[in-house]
Structure 1
Amino acid sequence: MSAGPPSPNEDRKAQLFALAGELRPELHRYCARLMGSVIDGEDVVQDTLVRAFAALQDLEETPLLRPWLFRIAHNRTLDLLRSRAVRMAEPIDAASDIADSPKPDPVEMLMHQEAVKTAVSRFVELPILQRSVVILKDVLDESLMEIAALLDLTVDAVKGHLARGRARLREINAQADPLPDARPASAAVARYVALFNQRNWDGLRALLADDVKLIQSSYPLRVGSADVGSFFTIYAKSDGVRLAPAWLEGREVVAVFEDRADPKPSYMMWLEWHDGRISFIRDYRYVRYAVADAELALAPDAKPAGDGAAH
């Protein structure tokens, strides 16, 4: 007996699931720059997808999924920024000399290159609407009309925000200090890295708190030392993986290298500690796009290709 055709709601969920996998890197590029943090940006992406799947079942008609997801992400980011008392942008005048063009414009290409190369953390210095418009236009290459629809603005208002945001971003980049040097690794992270590179899985499991939690993208949350301890079994099958202590956005993280010859890490982990034991692990193995925009600096003398303790 056949199960019959899928219900409209099941079909919409399947469409959203497929699109979410394709759109996550783009959503992250947007949210990370809005938040000024690749770590916080990924949290917003994850929250956006959870909210989208929850809301989808209550909709009578299927929305255009791409702009709908971006609007959820945008609104969720605004909620978080408002909670931090970030000031909204002031009213702006139109910039009539900005227009979409079917042919690549040298000035527009220059703006795109500058925005893409700008450190993620610097975008947070722009007022929120200028920030949104610059990211959507110069990083994600959205059209003026698409941006206006997403942000509920007129096209002239989008042009004005874009002109001011670009000018301000140039000032920020011109005045920006070089990224600070990474600090030495903490004793806790150095020990974690050393045990991992020595393949001492029992030693790593001994560092886990009883109620430790593990998050890996959209995979189910793991809770408890027994369940999270099996996480290391996966890495036990990968001889080439090496770790190194690193710093990102003022937070101590762990850089993960899958290729010893590659100077750039493949992805990262982020650990939290309580009373000397690991209480939380965020593994970015399945969301590697987060590292692409990360201003990640290895701790001094970190040697990911080695097999001993970090220095």
Structure 2
Amino acid sequence: MSDGGPAVERDRREGLLALAAALRPELHRYCARLMGSVIDGEDVVQDTFARAFVALDELCEVPQLRPWLFRIAHNRALDLLRSRAVRAAEPIEAALEIADDSKAGPVETLMRKEAIETAVSRFAELPVNQRSVIILKDVLDEPLAGIATLLGISVDAVKAHLARGRARLRQINAEAGPLPDVRIASAAVVRYIALFNQHDWDGLRALLADDVRLQQSMHPPRSGAADVGMFFTIYAKSEGLWLRPAWVEGREVIAVFEDRAATKPSHFMWLEWREGRISFIRDYRYVGYVADDAGLVLAKDAGSFGRGAGR
């Protein structure tokens, strides 16, 4: 980067990393909606930071951190969307009603409110450019000029995408079906939760496959039963935690509550199984913002799991 010696460079890098970490929740709000998934959105955020940290060592000047990180995240998300053959961006057409940064009347306010309250998964039904503009403008309140710079298009194109995207989002919300029915938890998850709520850490470690892997955002991955077993040691130090089975985006997950009286989970985790043993754990403990937009649905009879813990 610039001159100043190793100590100065180290301090500057640490300062940048601290600032970048503060942007994680906002980046996730963007990436989750762009990907149509809070889980995929966090994967993009993780990849964004990995790429940014490597790039810092190669930059001659310190970039404006926020737009730089958003550009990295945006480009990475588009790469993933293209690779999955998700709907391509539509060609731009002139908008009949052009949004104006300086005027936020009742209709404009209502449109922004609708975007914020729209389920994350529904954004995937929008063409990519419309999706990006709606999220940046109506969810994150970015100025039109800033959006144009980030996406590499004109302000008029931003306005057109915004007008068409808002109309399409209203249609999507109007046609959306009811929320999915509450499901019954699988036997494997029920067993895991019961052991956890009873603080049976040895019982949980016995469920780990020899080659089990653990991934936690902002922390290095762990692998192998001995190393991943430390995961439960960390949780054992937290008094009052209570697990309940749940569903997110069609995936069976485990909701983690700070205590049994909490009204909403602080985060969630999900597991993969192989021949009755846990082969993978993804834990979102250190990025609680992922749960904020998750639309998490608790499984049936969740309150009875692990009853009698601590006796």
TM-score range, shorter chain: over 0.9
Alignment of 1:121-270 (within 5 A): 121-270=121-270
1:99 pairs with 2:93 = no
For the 8 Å contact 2:193–2:306, the answer to whether it is kept is: no
Q: Distance in 2 between matches of 1:150 and 1:171?
A: 27
Unaligned runs of 5+ in 1: none
Q: Is the 8 A contact 2:195 2:306 kept in 1?
A: no
Q: CA deviation at 1:259?
A: 2.8
Deviation at residue 15 of structure 1 after TM alignment: 3.4
> Which 10-residue stretch deviates more, 297-306 or 278-287?
297-306
> CA-to-partner distance for each residue in 1:38-87, whole Å, 9 max, x for gaps?
01100110010001001111122222111010010000000100011123
Report the counterpart of residue 115 of structure 1 in structure 2.
115
Does the CA contact (< 8 Å) of 1:255 and 1:265 recur in 2? yes
Contact 1:242–1:304, Cα closer than 8 Å, also in 2: no
Q: Distance in 2 between matches of 1:259 and 1:149?
A: 45
The residue that corresponds to 1:86 in the other structure is 86
Distance 1:262 1:88 in 2: 42
**Structure 1, residues 18-43: CA drift from partner, whole Å, max 9, x if none?**
12211000000000001111011001
Q: Quick one: which amino acid aligns to residue 169 of structure 1?
A: L
Aligned-residue Cα RMSD (Å) equals: 1.7
CA offset at residue 221 of structure 1?
Answer: 1.2
Native 8 Å contact 1:12 1:56 kept in 2: no
Tell me if the contact between 1:257 and 1:304 (Cα under 8 Å) persists in the aligned partners.
no
Q: State how far apart, in whole Å, the 2-side matches of 1:215 and 1:306 are.
A: 25
The whole-number CA distance in structure 2 between the counterparts of 1:162 and 1:57 is: 37
Q: Which amino acid aligns with 2:100?
A: A
Partner of 1:48: 48
Identity %: 72
Q: Which stretch shows the higher mean deviation, 236-245 or 72-81?
A: 236-245
Structure-1 separation of matches of 2:57 and 2:304: 46
State yes or no: 1:18 paired with 2:18. yes
TM-score (normalised: structure 1): 0.93
How far 1:8 moved relative to its partner? 6.3
Q: Residue type of the partner of 1:115?
A: A
Once the two structures are superposed, residues 272-308 of structure 1 have per-residue CA deviations (whole angstroms, 9 ceiling, x without a partner) of 1112111111111110000000111111110178535
Aligned partner letter, 2:274: H
One-letter amino acid matched to 2:228: V
Distance in 2 of aligned mates of 1:51 and 1:178? 39
* Partner Cα separation in structure 2 for residue 282 and residue 197 of structure 1: 18
Would the aligned equivalents of 2:144 and 2:159 in 1 still touch at CA under 8 Å?
A: yes
Equivalent pairs, count: 305
